[in-house]
């Protein structure tokens, strides 16, 4: 009896799996679970259905080609070979391709990026910048060999020949296209080469248009300080660039129409404004002529001497009224002055002295009572016609009845 090592059995099974042509290239439908991406870049996950599960690995060399982000619960179709991992003795699928089940991987990648950028607010209407009404210079980021460029140039020259066009030529499909588009957008903003940017290309398959679904391109458009019009493909074609741009055009030709006004419309508008202005001027002239005619028929212009005489009479009348009013005011104030003078005179101390009264002072202060005096004291007596000095020889207080009688 021969005894084998575990590693020998595992290696034998691996070789048997490798020799099986059926297992060398198999397509398997299942639901992703336990999806993990390791720092090495390898992807590990499990495919399962309602009854079984299968371990899977996708190495970095194959994983970088994925156009969508696999997630747990996603229905996919995996392609690869089934073999045994000798170390664990477990068979697994070595996946080389992975596509969503029912829809293409590009569609899934589109929806995933759309949801991501929308969650960041890059599609918000309030972020949209207004387009200049009369752009002086337009930068076109597109292929120099495409028919889209010639269509845009033709329409721009026809509609608004005053604008200047700057071409920033880039590739619009292929692996290098996103990087070139991003560089062109950043160059336009860094050096302010225009006040409006149009980026896009003509129609094609979803693969041809994929550069405008690139995340770096979308972010470059969102970061642009210059307004951007996205014009990719035909009207049914919708790209991520359309969502982040300040304005989406159905086609490149439509972008040119949206970017500039039509000189025919401008001429018609100017003609209409000119007609309105002429009408207003004529109306104003008519009004002013009528006003001049009315003024010319006025009496002051027809007979200025008579008008001046009338004004003089009015002036004389007003002068008489003014003088009469002034005289009345003076008379009233004079009478008031006389009344106040009489009152003031009646209250004058000299008037009181004139009636026989006198003012007695002691030490320069008026004396109000005999109690303020002393026998032998010298006082000053002021009369109506002079003053005298007197000496107190006797003091006598009057009783209240006598004071009352006085």
Last-in-domain residue among 233, 261, 289 = 261
HSE on the CB side for 26, CA within 13 Å?
18
Is residue 118 situated within a structural domain? no
Specify the 3-state DSSP secondary structure of 19: helix
Q: What's the confidence (pLDDT) of residue 402?
A: 52
Is residue 114 situated within a structural domain? no
Q: What's the confidence (pLDDT) of residue 403?
A: 47
Other Cβ atoms less than 10 A from the Cβ of 228: the count is: 29
**Same domain flag for 22 and 74:** yes
Q: Which residues pair with 388 in a beta bridge?
A: 381
Is residue 278 situated within a structural domain? no
Pairing of strands 43-48, 26-37: antiparallel
Is residue 272 situated within a structural domain? no
Contact 46/29 with Cβ under 8 angstroms? no
CATH at residue 221: 3.40.50.10550
**Same domain flag for 96 and 28:** yes
Buried b (16+ CB within 10 A) or exposed e, 3-38: eeeeeeebeeebeeeeeeeebeeeebebbbeebeee
**Same domain flag for 81 and 163:** no
Output the CA–CA distances (angstroms, integers) from residue 355 to 35, 352, 362, in the order listed: 131, 5, 22
Last-in-domain residue among 81, 102, 123 = 102
What is the Cα–Cα distance from 199 to 182, expressed in whole angstroms?
A: 11
**Same domain flag for 28 and 88:** yes
CATH at residue 75: 2.40.50.140
pLDDT in tens, the chain (406 residues): 777 787 877 788 878 877 788 888 889 988 888 899 999 999 999 998 888 889 999 999 998 888 788 888 888 889 999 888 888 888 899 999 888 876 566 777 888 899 899 999 999 999 999 999 999 999 999 999 988 999 999 999 999 999 999 999 999 998 899 999 999 999 999 999 999 999 999 988 878 899 999 999 999 999 999 999 999 988 888 899 999 999 999 999 999 999 999 999 899 999 999 999 999 999 999 999 988 888 777 766 667 777 787 788 888 888 989 998 999 999 999 989 888 888 877 777 666 666 667 778 887 788 878 787 888 788 888 876 788 888 888 888 776 555 455 4
**Same domain flag for 80 and 141:** no
Q: What's the confidence (pLDDT) of residue 105?
A: 67
**Same domain flag for 14 and 88:** yes
What is the Cα–Cα distance from 160 to 259, expressed in whole angstroms?
A: 10
Is residue 398 situated within a structural domain? yes
Q: Which residues pair with 94 in a beta bridge?
A: 57, 81
**Same domain flag for 169 and 94:** no
**Same domain flag for 365 and 249:** no
Is residue 205 situated within a structural domain? yes
**Same domain flag for 20 and 92:** yes
**Same domain flag for 60 and 145:** no
Is residue 346 situated within a structural domain? no
**Same domain flag for 150 and 93:** no
Last-in-domain residue among 102, 124, 159 = 102
Structural domain span for residue 227 = 135-261
Is residue 12 situated within a structural domain? yes
Count of structural domains, the chain: 3
- Residue 192: what are its φ and ψ, rounded to 5°? 50, 55
**Same domain flag for 243 and 147:** yes
């Amino acid at each position: 009896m021969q005894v084998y090592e575990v590693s020998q059995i595992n290696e034998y099974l691996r070789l048997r799996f490798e020799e099986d042509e059926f297992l060398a290239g198999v397509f398997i439908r299942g639901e992703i679970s336990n999806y993990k991406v390791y720092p090495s870049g390898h992807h590990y996950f499990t495919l399962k259905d309602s009854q079984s599960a299968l371990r899977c690995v996708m190495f970095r060399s194959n994983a970088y080609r994925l156009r969508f982000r696999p997630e747990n619960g996603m229905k996919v179709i995996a392609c690869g070979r089934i073999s045994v991992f000798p170390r664990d003795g477990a068979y697994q699928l070595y996946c080389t391709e992975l596509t969503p089940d029912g829809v293409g991987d590009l569609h899934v990648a589109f929806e995933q990026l759309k949801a991501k950028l929308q969650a960041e607010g890059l599609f918000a209407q309030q972020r949209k910048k207004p387009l200049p009404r009369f752009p002086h210079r337009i930068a076109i980021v597109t292929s120099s060999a495409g028919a889209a460029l010639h269509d845009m140039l033709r329409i721009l020259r026809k509609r608004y020949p005053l604008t200047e066009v700057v071409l920033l030529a880039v590739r619009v499909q292929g692996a290098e296209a996103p990087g070139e588009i991003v560089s062109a957008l950043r160059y336009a903003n860094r050096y302010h080469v225009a006040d409006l940017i149009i980026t896009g290309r003509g129609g094609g398959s979803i693969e041809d248009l994929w550069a405008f679904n690139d995340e770096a391109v979308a972010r470059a458009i969102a970061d642009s300080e210059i307004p951007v019009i996205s014009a990719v493909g035909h009207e049914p074609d919708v790209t991520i660039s359309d969502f982040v741009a300040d304005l989406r055009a159905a086609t490149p030709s439509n972008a040119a129409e949206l970017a500039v006004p039509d000189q025919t419309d401008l001429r018609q508008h100017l003609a209409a404004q000119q007609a309105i202005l002429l009408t207003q001027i004529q109306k104003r002239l008519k009004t002013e002529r009528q006003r001049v005619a009315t003024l010319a028929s006025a009496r002051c212009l027809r007979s200025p001497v008579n008008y001046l005489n009338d004004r003089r009479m009015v002036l004389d009348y007003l002068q008489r009224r003014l003088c009469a009013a002034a005289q009345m005011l003076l008379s009233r104030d004079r009478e008031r002055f006389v009344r106040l003078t009489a009152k003031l005179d009646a209250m004058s101390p000299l008037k009181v002295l004139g009636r026989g009264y006198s003012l007695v002072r002691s030490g320069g202060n008026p004396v109000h009572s005999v109690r303020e005096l002393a026998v032998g004291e010298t006082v000053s007596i002021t009369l109506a016609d002079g003053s005298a000095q007197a000496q107190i020889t006797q003091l006598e207080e009057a009783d209240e009845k006598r004071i009352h009688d006085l």
